[in-house]
Amino acid sequence: MKTFFSDLRFVSSLITIAVRLAAVFTVLGLYEFTIFVLPKEIEFVSEIAVLTCLVFGVFGILPIQEKISGFLKSTFVSEYLSDDPGSSRLAHRRFDSEGVIKNVFPELVRLTNSNFGRLAILRNDLTHYDLYTYAHKKQRKVNTMEGINPRAALLTYILNKRSGAMIGEPDQNKIINEDFVSLRANFILPFVFREKLFGFLAVSNIPKDNVRHELGFLAGKCALAVHNHILSSQIAENKKYRKELENAGKIRKFLESSEPPMVGDIKIDLLSQEPGELLEFFQTPSGDFYFVFLRLSVTNAVSVLALCYILGTLYASRLNEEIKNVLQLKSLVEDNLKEISWTERYDLAVGMVGKNGEKISLRYVGKNFRMFHATHPERNLASIGWENMETPGKDPLILSWNDRNIISFQNLGHRA
């Protein structure tokens, strides 16, 4: 017989009993109602009433009973603590990590007969763990700036302890023992799913052997809940930023033609572009033609949003006639990267083709850029730190990044 180890388990059992009793009384009431409604001239009134109640009970009352029981348990009891398969499926569909924190966490602590416990939950950014405490029926989040570092030795240690780790085990080193002490824990239970640690429970008491099986079962549910919550959050963010990128592309297509035009006799060709790069050409009211190539070191939702922001800033500056030279354009991009707190590495190249198409100006940031003539690829014409001036000829002038050709400039009217 299962032990009622907590208030919520007791409430779950009461809900099950109450719903089943209500179903029984409903069937009995239906039986009495059928006896009352059927004509007394019929010979087999009782048999017909029983058959009617049986059919209605199997195909009507039982499904409704399960629905009502699941609804009440999801309202008053965490789905992860319910033995009902329907409630468990509902929990996984909802990806309710908040339910794990608010409801399951206290129950896990009580199950171990501990008065104090800590819960670590992996954040959506997959970089650190948030800490929560439960003590004397009070729950709060621990005020820490960085949570728990994912490279901590403790996390690597407990990842291989599916059934839980106790303080003082022979394979523990000094650092891990100190982690146990800092968490005020004698027992730590990891939440592992697909060989990845999604959190853990640290409690002051060492649970009994007959309780550890149930703890391990609930820990698996918790790991799956946190995994699904992170996955659903990432899907939502990717959809959001993909929409932002599509909108930015529509704005760019609306404001400028996708192909760079001729500038005087100079033909500009776009040779390649990859996701996560901003490569933009635009003409100022003065007639000068500018180009910007920005490559961020990481490609994720945040970098996409940063590129969209820079793109909007470039067009706003062009419309306001704020760009006067290449140095000002370079400073504009870098200042906006600082404004959005971009701390990762980036490569930036900005340039200008004069309205008469005589010379090309280029400035760049990063060590991966080269400018060379197509017939002499071994000779780099551009240097970092100052504005490079080149005159394109019949031999195409090529700008490359990381040995990948980006843009070419060729003077079609030049005579050798």
Token pair 């980036």: residue: 346
d(CA 332, CA 280): 14
- The least confident of 48-52, 85-89, 198-202, 405-409 is 85-89
One domain for residues 284 and 216:
no
Domain membership of residue 246 (yes or no) is: no
Name the E strands within 248-359: 266-270, 277-283, 289-296, 346-353
- Output the average pLDDT for the chain: 78
Domain of residue 378, CATH code: 3.60.40.10
| pTM confidence score | 0.45
Q: How many structural domains are present in the chain?
A: 3
| Residues paired with residue 190 on neighbouring β-strands, in sequence order | 200
Residues 70 and 140 both lie in one domain: no
* pLDDT, tens only, 242-257: 666 666 665 555 444 4
Residues 396 and 269 in one domain: yes
pLDDT number for residue 83: 56
Give the confidence band of 4 by pLDDT, cuts at 50, 70, 90: very low
pLDDT in tens, 205-252: 888 888 888 888 888 888 888 888 888 777 776 666 666 666 666 555
What was the pLDDT predicted at 8?
Answer: 60
> Would you say 370 and 406 are in contact if contact means Cβ atoms under 8 Å apart?
no
Residue 352: other Cβ atoms inside 10 A? 21
Phi and psi based region of residue 270 (left: phi greater than 0; alpha: psi -120 to 50; beta: remaining): beta
Q: Which residue in this structure is represented by tokens 């390649």?
A: 272
In a domain, 390, yes or no: yes
- Per-residue pLDDT for 35 more than 90? no
Q: With both helix axes pointing from N to C terminus, report the angle between 85-94 and 62-76 in degrees, rounded to the nearest 10.
A: 50
Spatial distance between the Cα atoms of 50 and 53, rounded to a whole number of angstroms: 5
Lowest mean pLDDT among 20-29, 85-94, 130-139, 264-273: 85-94
Claim to verify: residue 206 and residue 116 sit in the same structural domain: yes
- Which of these ranges, 46-55, 100-109, 180-189, 317-326, has the smallest mean pLDDT? 317-326
Is the pLDDT score of 146 beyond 50? yes
Q: What is the pLDDT of residue 301?
A: 66
Q: Give me the percent of the chain exceeding a pLDDT of 70.
A: 80
Low-confidence winner among 24-38, 134-148, 175-189, 294-308 (lowest mean pLDDT)? 134-148
214: CATH: 3.30.450.40
328 assigned to some structural domain: yes
The reply to whether 222 falls in a domain is: yes
Q: What is the mean pLDDT of residues 56-74?
A: 80
Distances (CA, A) of 333 to 154, 326, 360: 42, 11, 19
**Owning domain of residue 26:** 8-74
Q: Is residue 3 part of a domain?
A: no
- Number of residues in the chain: 416
